[in-house]
Chain A
Amino acid sequence: MPRTPFALWPIVALAAFLPACDRQPPPPAPASRPAATPPELGDVMTNALGMKLAYVPPGELVMGSPLAEPGRHDDEAQHGVVLTRGFWIGVTEVTQAQWNAVMAPAGTDAEPNDLPVVRVKWGQAVAFCRTLSERDGNQYRLPTEAEWEHACRAGTTGPFAGAADEVAWHMDNSDEALHAVAGKKPNAWGLYDMHGNAAEWCADRYGPYAPGEAVDPTGPAEGTYRVVRGGSFGHFSRACRSAARASYNPAYGLRRVGFRIVMEQPPAASAR
């Protein structure tokens, strides 16, 4: 499957902020559809840094896993979730090159590599989103846990959005090392490495799911640990399942944990 089969749909507002970014790649490609057209599932945009983000429209999912799913843990209680807002999510995990382009001190030689950035504390991942937002004017943040699972599942209901070994680098097929992003098959929405490679920080605090159905859930109000999803090269495949939940102390920068970004739907697009 080609790496970028989807429409390139630049955010017009992005252009106004391009001068603020001093290590940016060339401006995005020209618009391929009229600006008045609302984004659709399958749309992919490229931001000023060259990061590709796929659009996920409002929708609903059954979050969690059925009792019979092999490898499940007790914290995966199935419940319905409605996401009322569309969002753009990174097609890949943030790479070390992208991290350096945004966060490295001026003058640092960026090493252009496509490995996911890891050893990033939760607060540093948030800071990356903030700095990137300041640079190009869009609002970037970490995905909520529900957004993450919705994007990971891409409409599937099983343990993996594909065959585990085809979509995930996990402990038993990775040589226990990070791999360049997008080395495995993407899911149906064009997202790579949702399962495995680097595990990914989410915005939510970790805790049991609230009982019943949820609308735009953002996790518990209190708690020390932050949610980490997707598993990694250092996790067994059971921890890389769509519903598998992990949590780590946000103050830890772990060799197996990175992140991917979400961009809020720009107001201009929302209004259309």
Chain B
Amino acid sequence: MPHSTTATLARRDLLKGAAAAATFSIVAPSAVRGSAANSKIALGVIGCGGRGNWVSNLFKQHGGYQITACGDYFADRVESYGKKFGVPAAQRYTGLTNHAKLLAGAKVDAVAVESPPYFHPVQAAAAVEAGKHVFVAKPVAVDVPGCLTIGEAGKKASAKKLVFLVDFQTRADKFYQEAIKRVHNGDIGRLINGTAFYFCGPIMAGQNSPADAEGKLRKWVLNKTLSGDIITEQNIHCLDVLAWIADADPISAVGTCGQRIRKGDQTTSDFFNLVFEFPRGLAASFASRQCGKGPGGIFCTMYGTSGAVETQYGGTVKVYGNAPYPGGQTGSIFRDGCVNNIATFHKSITEGVTHNPTVAASVRSNLTTILGRDAAYTGRKVAWDDMMKAKTKVQADLTGLKA
């Protein structure tokens, strides 16, 4: 019986002998650092406050980076940081444009943007323009134009063969990754509804946000313009997971927020309560507090037609139902997630992996927080499309700050 034509053609292609040398068409990306692949990456850190110091310790511990430059508005922070991490005095930059001075004057391969969120878009975009790889803390921006700027900067980075990585711990955790992959594959069926919440006590309890410009900047986390408010600056950790699971832009949000504890010049909210509507009928409620006492945590639980997924930041991540996944504990995710991202950033630079998958996902999550914030501030249901059309800019008053 004759063989089919298809089979014969395929056979001709395939039968190259048992020991045939491989002739694969895929080619490993060329190492962008060429012969210097084993040398350390020269890193400039923009933002020398609490997060900047903490993350710099992890960069140092990685072993593949040399911190060669630093920048912050405040001279005292820059000096303290410079001494701690051995940054030469000539490579320490201050003022509102510290990032621009660093990019123009310092010899760095990459920058880590650890400044207040309000400044992330302009600083990250400038770094890409200057040909630097970018590692940026969450949130990427405090408003829609900032998110769009980050999205464009990420694309431009890929076009210029630069790495651009957004540092979300959950997205670097193997249990989160596996559980959500299973949800996306269909292991809990079609998504129906769920809830996400982030409950914790106050940050900088008892401290006031000073009225003067420098005082406000120093305590930016208490200022909703500089931080994006708690929903964007902090609660993004669980709204990111929600958006990740939903795998879609939300359609709308409605809800409320308020201040019950914070007073004076502290402009951030104490709580948010919202309902998000996603495509395909998925509904998700969200609640957060950054005040008071009592049970806390960062949770997201979503139900589908044949199961559920449960995620606890620092706790259990698990899939229930017809195709269960016991998952595991994420106890040290706060540190481990960042460690993983620092390692991925290094590997991506040395191996030339520049498709930058964290950018679009992070922009979507960030925009989800802004949608919720807009709805809560106005007390009205806000549609995603309207928000994206309006492109409302959050404008900080930087009068009185030195360039």
Residue of A nearest to B353 (CB): A67
- Chain A residues with CB below 8 A from B314, complex form: none
- Chain A residues with CB below 8 A from B4, complex form: 5-6, 42
Residue of B nearest to A78 (CB): B26
- B185 in contact with A213 (CB, 8 Å): no
Encode A74-97 as 1/0 by CB contact (under 8 A) with B. 110011101011000000000000
**Does A22 interact with chain B (Cβ within 8 Å)?**
no
Known contacts A62-B24, A244-B185; 11 additional CB pairs below 8 A are A41-B10, A58-B15, A60-B16, A74-B177, A78-B26, A79-B24, A80-B24, A80-B26, A234-B306, A252-B323, A256-B322
- A234 in contact with B3 (CB, 8 Å): no
Q: Give the bracket for the number of chain A residues in contact with chain B.
A: 35 or more
- Chain A residues with CB below 8 A from B325, complex form: 248
- Chain A residues with CB below 8 A from B190, complex form: 171
**Does A121 interact with chain B (Cβ within 8 Å)?**
no
**Does B19 interact with chain A (Cβ within 8 Å)?**
yes
- A239 in contact with B186 (CB, 8 Å): yes
- B18 in contact with A189 (CB, 8 Å): no
Encode A147-166 as 1/0 by CB contact (under 8 A) with B. 00000001100000000000
Tell which of B13, B14, B26, B325 has the most Cβ of chain A within 10 Å.
B14
- Chain A residues with CB below 8 A from B3, complex form: 6-7, 40-43
Q: Give the bracket for the number of chain B residues in contact with chain A.
A: 35 or more
- A62 in contact with B1 (CB, 8 Å): no
- Chain B residues with CB below 8 A from A254, complex form: 322-323
- B1 in contact with A8 (CB, 8 Å): yes
- Chain A residues with CB below 8 A from B357, complex form: 74
Encode B18-58 as 1/0 by CB contact (under 8 A) with A. 11101111100000000000000000000000000000000
> Complex: how many Å from CA A250 to CA B7?
35
> Complex: how many Å from CA A79 to CA B25?
10
Tell which of B22, B187, B190, B323 has the most Cβ of chain A within 10 Å.
B323
Q: List 25 A-B contacts (CB under 8 A).
A: A7-B3, A41-B8, A42-B6, A57-B14, A57-B15, A58-B20, A60-B14, A60-B16, A60-B22, A73-B184, A74-B177, A79-B24, A82-B22, A155-B13, A171-B190, A188-B6, A188-B7, A189-B10, A234-B189, A234-B323, A235-B185, A235-B187, A236-B185, A248-B325, A249-B326
- B186 in contact with A236 (CB, 8 Å): yes
**Does B107 interact with chain A (Cβ within 8 Å)?**
no
Tell which of A41, A79, A154, A254 has the most Cβ of chain B within 10 Å.
A41
- A41 in contact with B14 (CB, 8 Å): yes
Encode B299-315 as 1/0 by CB contact (under 8 A) with A. 00000001000000000
Residue of B nearest to A234 (CB): B186
| A binding-site residues for B, Cβ under 8 Å | 5-8, 32-33, 40-43, 57-60, 62, 67, 73-75, 78-80, 82, 84-85, 154-155, 171, 176, 188-190, 213, 231, 234-236, 238-239, 244, 246, 248-249, 252, 254-256
| B binding-site residues for A, Cβ under 8 Å | 1-4, 6-8, 10-11, 13-20, 22-26, 177, 181-182, 184-187, 189-190, 306, 322-326, 355, 357
- Chain B residues with CB below 8 A from A188, complex form: 6-7, 10
- Chain B residues with CB below 8 A from A33, complex form: 1
- A85 in contact with B18 (CB, 8 Å): yes
> Complex: how many Å from CA A248 to CA B4?
37
- A236 in contact with B184 (CB, 8 Å): yes
> Complex: how many Å from CA A8 to CA B2?
10
- A41 in contact with B185 (CB, 8 Å): no
> Complex: how many Å from CA A89 to CA B22?
23
> Complex: how many Å from CA A176 to CA B17?
43
- Chain A residues with CB below 8 A from B15, complex form: 41, 57-59
- B7 in contact with A189 (CB, 8 Å): yes
Q: Give 7 nearest A-B pairs by CB, closest first.
A: A42-B7, A80-B24, A239-B185, A59-B14, A42-B3, A41-B11, A235-B186
- A155 in contact with B14 (CB, 8 Å): yes
Q: When the two chains form the complex, which single residue of A74, A75, A82, A235 contacts B20, counting CB atoms closer than 8 Å?
A: A82
> Complex: how many Å from CA A58 to CA B24?
15
